[in-house]
A and B are shown apart, each in its own frame.
Chain A
Amino acid sequence: MTAALELRSVSKVYGDGPTEVQALREVNLSVEAGALVAVMGPSGSGKSTLLTIAGSLEDATTGEVLVGGLTLSGMSRNDRARLRRRAIGYVFQDFNLLAGLTAVENVALPLELDGVAARTAQAAGMEALEQLGLSDQGSRFPDQLSGGERQRVAIARAVVGDRRLLLADEPSGALDSVNGEAVMRLMRAACRRGVAGVVVTHDAQLASWADRVVFLRDGRVVDQTAPPLGPESLLEPSPSQ
């Protein structure tokens, strides 16, 4: 089965000469559909850079990035834009909803950008909002919503229209612990529907929602927890048997 996201020996260097900064060094990562991976590490370890490269927002200096089996390196800007609106959803710490558009219009925007008629797209957006318990907030503007509601709208926008990869950069960073937990629960639910998720977080408690945790330091993957064994593992014979 094709991984939803695969990074092969990805490195990223900013600047040159004396101002050169190595943000990522030979990072390898694979995220299967339905899996939720948390990325942790101190500030400046390259977590956000990993996410932006995975989401095709910037290029890796070396290495290869594959989304749904497609290599990003050969794609034009327009192809990447189309990949983002069809396959990749983003959730940011500061929500980044577009002022001037209502909640449902924000959610429907990626579909409309992809050529879906406004009425169909907004109906899909409303459906996504209903799944996140925001059916009565669809006509409100972002500045009329609370922080938790805004982040839920951002998650709805990230998953609307059959997205396969959900990337979240500190999604609970601007929320209290209750809303933070709620956001992680929603992301977990999205992954149960087959979406692959990558969450950057500083919070170990929130990272515990993930199937796997990857630790970054100075741009390198220094550790990662093993994926938990599912119940099906009990049916397989152990190597000693």
Chain B
Amino acid sequence: MTVSEAVREHAAEPADELEVGTGDGGAPARRAITRWAWRLFRREWRQQLLVLALLTLAVAATTIGVAIASNTLSPVDATMGTANHRVTIPGSDPNLSAHIAAIQKMFGPTEVVAHQPIAVAGSVATVDLRDQDPKGVYGHATVRLAAGRYPNGADEVAVAPPVAATFSLHIGNVWHQGGRDRRVVGLVENPQNLLDEFALVAPGQAIPPNEVSILLNTTDARFRAFHLGDVALSVEARSYAGQTAAATAVLALGTIGLLFVGLVAVAGFTVMAQRRLRAMGMLGAIGATDRHIRLVMLANGAVVGALAAIVGTVVGLLGWIAFIPHLEGLAGHRIDWFHLPWWAIAMAMLLAFLTAVAAAWWPARSAARIPIVAALSGRPPRPQPAHRFAAAGSALLLVGLSLLAFAHQKRPPLIVTGIVAITLGLLFLAPLGIAGLAVFARRAPIAVRLALRDLARYQARSGAAVAAVTLAIGIAATVAVSASAAEAEAVPTAGNLPTNQLLVYLAGPGPVGGGARCPNRRRRNSRSSRPASINSRPCSTPRTWPPWMRR
């Protein structure tokens, strides 16, 4: 059978009779259209650089944002490691061993850590002499050897860098503390809290313990059902809610950013569709259906979205890796490169892809509706009457603003839905604005007149662009107004200082003197090794602080 015969057989029609069905070519047709769209993208990708760059930037920023948000809080608790409960029993408990055995019997694998405080001369802070197995089942994540080795013998110790700095210790030195001499054999740190001031000794060497922590994994319900006589237990349970909430909030912000990018993309794809109008007319002339013509633009949008999602994620991950050393210093704990909320990153990629496809959909729909003859001659479609979507736009705008008002800046679903509604509302209202501007064209100078007439003539792309600009200004204005309102309403708080610093409040009319604490004054958080600030001014004049002292 020749190729022509095969084709003829496929057509399955008698030679002198035509039967016209409703088939649209199925998968081969879609493949052919997608191939053409891909080739066009390869030829014309420079013309889509703005949309590509904006989408890539949005995905990269979201990736870095969710990574920072979820890693600012330590993924593993600094005190309980990978356990989800920490029970603390006072060292003075006469039945300490029996109680530890009871807990171990009830909850299975546990890890016991003994603590003994060591006073630091001239400071209210203490150093925690910690008797802990560095390879413990739960606590291993809270101990890391930085140099030397772990202590093995009774007279050996490994100290954390802050302790080494406080006592001027180096590996090989002998540390005289608590009436004992211990040789420093290593430097250790708590990767989950780099400010943790502790000294690690071999198991059984923190005697007598001030308190004993028992790390274990169990459920809250099971733990509530457990009773241990009249011992004063202190119990902590960990939660992952903070990390998830932070990542969700950043993802919500990323979605809002993608909405803005989506509007710009609508304008970009509309320009692209108008450039390809003749080719799409030709496609229609040789038998492409409306669906095929839509697919040309949708495939282009999908390619742009997929490319931006992949490149944006790679750029975001590289940026994240570069930022980790700085973030570790800021967050005060070590950060695992690949401890990332992958679900949020995948969601950002998917949103970018969907944004590009959705942005391409409107121009695709318009292009498919243009009569073939008009498309072949390159004539743009006649603009729709501006008032047609104005009512829907106004309603969406009102709904969006109402949702934002009800959200009280605290409910991400309402905020995102509200901004989506506002965006659509602006998109629908933009033609009315453009038509309004065009009214002034008649009396305007020639350059302005041409610009306004062009805006009105190419309503689809100028409408999307106007909506994008309006949304960007709206977001900026909303953020500025909300921040100012929050600043004005916020209750000032006292500064948080680390345990080795002391904030001394001096009150009274004179420059230096005794008096009551002034809790309403905000102070700079002096986490660094700078000396504690001393207020030498009266409480009644809080606004006279120099700017660098205010948070």
Chain A positions within 8 Å of B, measured between CB atoms, are 1-2, 52, 55, 57-58, 67-70, 75-79, 81-90, 92, 96-101, 105, 108-118, 120-121, 123-124, 127, 157, 161-162, 164
- Is B24 an interface residue when CB atoms closer than 8 A count as contact? yes
Are B4 and A162 within 8 A (Cβ)?
yes
State in angstroms the CA–CA spacing of A92 and B278 once bound together: 12
User: B26 — nearest CB in chain A belongs to which residue?
Assistant: A115
A76 proximity list for chain B (CB < 8 A): 22
Query: Contacting B18 at CB < 8 Å: which of A55, A70, A105?
Result: A70
Given contacts A83-B20, A90-B285, A96-B282, contact A116 B10 (CB under 8 A): yes
- Is B39 an interface residue when CB atoms closer than 8 A count as contact? yes
Are B11 and A114 within 8 A (Cβ)?
yes
State in angstroms the CA–CA spacing of A110 and B288 once bound together: 8
B28 proximity list for chain A (CB < 8 A): 112, 115-118, 121
Query: Contacting B23 at CB < 8 Å: which of A67, A89, A115?
Result: A115
- Is B373 an interface residue when CB atoms closer than 8 A count as contact? yes
B39 proximity list for chain A (CB < 8 A): 100-101
B interface, by DSSP: helix, strand, loop or mixed? helix
Contacts across chains A and B counted by CB atoms under 8 Å: 154
- Is B179 an interface residue when CB atoms closer than 8 A count as contact? no
Query: Contacting A86 at CB < 8 Å: which of B15, B16, B287, B289?
Result: B287
Are A124 and B16 within 8 A (Cβ)?
no
- Most A C-beta atoms less than 10 A away, residue of B11, B282, B373: B282
State in angstroms the CA–CA spacing of A101 and B39 once bound together: 7
Given contacts A112-B32, A113-B25, A117-B28, contact A84 B18 (CB under 8 A): no
User: B39 — nearest CB in chain A belongs to which residue?
Assistant: A100
- Is B230 an interface residue when CB atoms closer than 8 A count as contact? no
- Is B36 an interface residue when CB atoms closer than 8 A count as contact? yes
Are B18 and A83 within 8 A (Cβ)?
yes
- Most B C-beta atoms less than 10 A away, residue of A1, A81, A89, A97: A81
State in angstroms the CA–CA spacing of A108 and B36 once bound together: 12
Given contacts A86-B11, A113-B287, A115-B23, contact A98 B29 (CB under 8 A): no
User: A57 — nearest CB in chain B belongs to which residue?
Assistant: B372
A77 proximity list for chain B (CB < 8 A): 289-290
Are A114 and B18 within 8 A (Cβ)?
no
State in angstroms the CA–CA spacing of A55 and B23 once bound together: 19
Are A69 and B17 within 8 A (Cβ)?
yes
Query: Contacting B7 at CB < 8 Å: which of A52, A96, A111, A118?
Result: A111
- Is B130 an interface residue when CB atoms closer than 8 A count as contact? no
Are B24 and A78 within 8 A (Cβ)?
yes
A100 proximity list for chain B (CB < 8 A): 36, 39-40, 42-43
State in angstroms the CA–CA spacing of A111 and B8 once bound together: 10
User: A97 — nearest CB in chain B belongs to which residue?
Assistant: B282
Query: Contacting A120 at CB < 8 Å: which of B7, B282, B288, B290?
Result: B7
A-B contacts, 29 of them at CB < 8 A, read: A2-B16, A57-B371, A78-B24, A79-B20, A81-B24, A81-B288, A81-B290, A81-B292, A82-B21, A83-B18, A83-B287, A84-B286, A85-B288, A86-B18, A86-B20, A101-B35, A113-B25, A113-B32, A114-B11, A114-B25, A116-B7, A116-B28, A118-B31, A120-B10, A127-B3, A157-B286, A161-B11, A162-B11, A162-B15
State in angstroms the CA–CA spacing of A161 and B279 once bound together: 21
User: B292 — nearest CB in chain A belongs to which residue?
Assistant: A113
A67 proximity list for chain B (CB < 8 A): 18
Query: Contacting A82 at CB < 8 Å: which of B23, B42, B290?
Result: B23
